[in-house]
Amino acid sequence: MENKTSKPEEIIVLKNINKSFGSNVVLDDISLSFEKGKTTVIIGPSGCGKTVLIKHIIVLLRPDSGRVYFHNIRIDNMQEKQLDAIRTRMGFLFQGGALFDSMNVYENIVFPVRQHVKIKNREKLHDLARTKLAMVGMEGFADAFPAKLSGGQKKRVALARAIALSPEVILYDEPTTGLDPIRSDVINELILKLKRELGVTSIVVTHDMTSAYKIADRIIMLHDGKVAADGNADYIRNHSSPVVQQFINGQADEDDLRALRAPGSDIKISDIEQ
Ligand SMILES: Nc1ncnc2c1ncn2[C@@H]1O[C@H](COP(=O)(O)OP(=O)(O)OP(=O)(O)O)[C@@H](O)[C@H]1O
Ligand SMILES: [Mg+2]
């Protein structure tokens, strides 16, 4: 029976996660819990470990030490075969979209379904693809190949694929990067819609603060392998830490400025745009 006074369920829990690549310490004793049905946005400078962090949640990377739990079940030490079942319950929208160029939109969407659930019935697969495409406003594109789609359309198809198995959790890695503000806002609205209509738990990595403020129940900033700030949009906006303020206001730090002033760094825009 549901107990209305009980705490909300923590669907994903990371406990004391450490991860280094050689001498590069990326995650330094990170502990975080994610509440069911909420949207958490992860921000932080490029290279600070956002992608590495969310890859631990779906166990595409394993921690050097620490534990990852999904519905209170430890998953970081599971065999690939057991993980398959867990991964059907989590959708992952990769940084850059990553559609299979040799497959049309329909085949891209049903790929995870064939792989994990082994549905073979053509009609069922077509129905499923149609429903998911309708959810992202891409009806009628089933036969198109990715090369013919715009950046925003590709992201929407990648999202349709990420939700193909009706996951409980969706991990988004920079879903709006490279999109103009209007197309970015379509993705924001889709993330909000999936939460509202399906009760999905979302974890979204982004550099886009407009998007973060619009969709987040909670924003976590990573910096130097640690959690630098963790709270709602207002809390982050008014955070006293200069590191947080500098990031959310998009100011270059001294390191960046030094790089720009370095000899040989007088790159002209005309060189880049060739
Ligand atoms: N497989 C890997 N092998 C070695 N180093 C890695 C690997 N994956 C990531 N790293 C390193 O870990 C650090 C964090 O990388 P990550 O991709 O998580 O950054 P990020 O915060 O997602 O950056 P961006 O905003 O640019 O996507 C970087 O220094 C990166 O070089
Ligand atoms: Mg990344």
Question: 98 is written with which tokens?
Answer: 């990553």
The conformation of residue 137, written as its DSSP 8-state character, comes to T
C-alpha–C-alpha distance, residues 28 and 26, integer Å = 6
Closest CA to ligand 1's atom 5 = 21
pLDDT in tens, 209-248: 999 999 999 999 999 999 999 999 999 999 999 999 999 9
Yes or no: say if 17 and 56 are a contact pair by the CB < 8 Å rule. yes
- Domain ranges in the chain are 10-89+168-263, 100-166
Rounded mean pLDDT, 178-201? 89
CA 81 to chain CA centroid, nearest Å: 23
Pocket, ligand 1, Cβ cutoff 6 A? 21, 24, 26, 44, 46-52, 95
Domain 10-89+168-263 part of CATH 3.40.50.300: yes
Question: 4 is written with which tokens?
Answer: 């209305």
In this model, does residue 7 exceed pLDDT 80?
no
- Of 27 and 260, the structure prediction assigns the larger pLDDT to 27
- Interval between CA 43 and ligand 1 midpoint (Å): 14
Classify residue 183 as exposed, middle or buried by CB count within 10 Å of its CB (0-12, 13-18, 19+): middle
In this model, does residue 40 exceed pLDDT 70?
yes
Backbone angles phi, psi at 118, to 5 degrees: 60, 35
The conformation of residue 8, written as its DSSP 8-state character, comes to P
Ligand approaching nearest to the C-alpha of 28: 1
Ligand approaching nearest to the C-alpha of 207: 1
Rounded mean pLDDT, 92-107? 87
